[in-house]
Amino acid sequence: MAATNNLLIFLIDILISMYVGALLLRVLLAYTRADFYNPISQFLVSITNPALIPLRKILPSIGSIDTANWILILILQGFRIYSLARLNGFELSISTLLIASILQVLSTILTILIYAILIRAVLSWFQNPYQQENPLVSVVYSITEPLLRPARKILPPVNMIDLSAFFVILILYCLQIIIRSF
């Protein structure tokens, strides 16, 4: 029975986390106005549309905020947290579940941003980071540039070494520690 429970915990955690990650990437790409026709953007649209299209009929967007996407993210994250708590023998109140879901979504966004900056830093070692022929480079650049551009104004390159990525990652980790402390 323990093996079945552990397997169920693993599957719920990984599958919902991956889908929520895809939904959050879609939000980030829309927010940064990434190329919609990029193969990675198209992949994210194709795997998230089946859940979002029916929900958009019920929950229209409010201005530039994709309400259906955010509600679906919170519902899935809430279901994940509730299911994992129940499978581990815990009971959660609705308010605790809502707060935990919001904090987990914020933490996931920070994690995505940290990994995107790390990927961009590693890619810069092998090729020109501004050459956007590769779909991954284009997506990573779209997600990270809004964070790195202001950081470069505060911390300009030192002897041709750009420390803005380190600076932004440090700030993102500090934010993540604060969020996970609640």
pTM of the complete model: 0.91
Higher pLDDT, 131 or 161: 161
Backbone torsions φ then ψ of 30, nearest 5 degrees: -70, -40
For residue 110, give the nearest of 35, 28, 52 by alpha carbon.
Answer: 28
45-99, pLDDT tens digit by residue?
A: 999 999 999 999 999 999 889 999 999 999 999 999 999 999 999 999 999 999 9
pLDDT at 128: 64
Integer Cα distance of 52 and 67 in angstroms: 10
List the domain boundaries for the chain: 2-180
Integer Cα distance of 151 and 47 in angstroms: 33
Q: Share the mean pLDDT of the chain.
A: 92
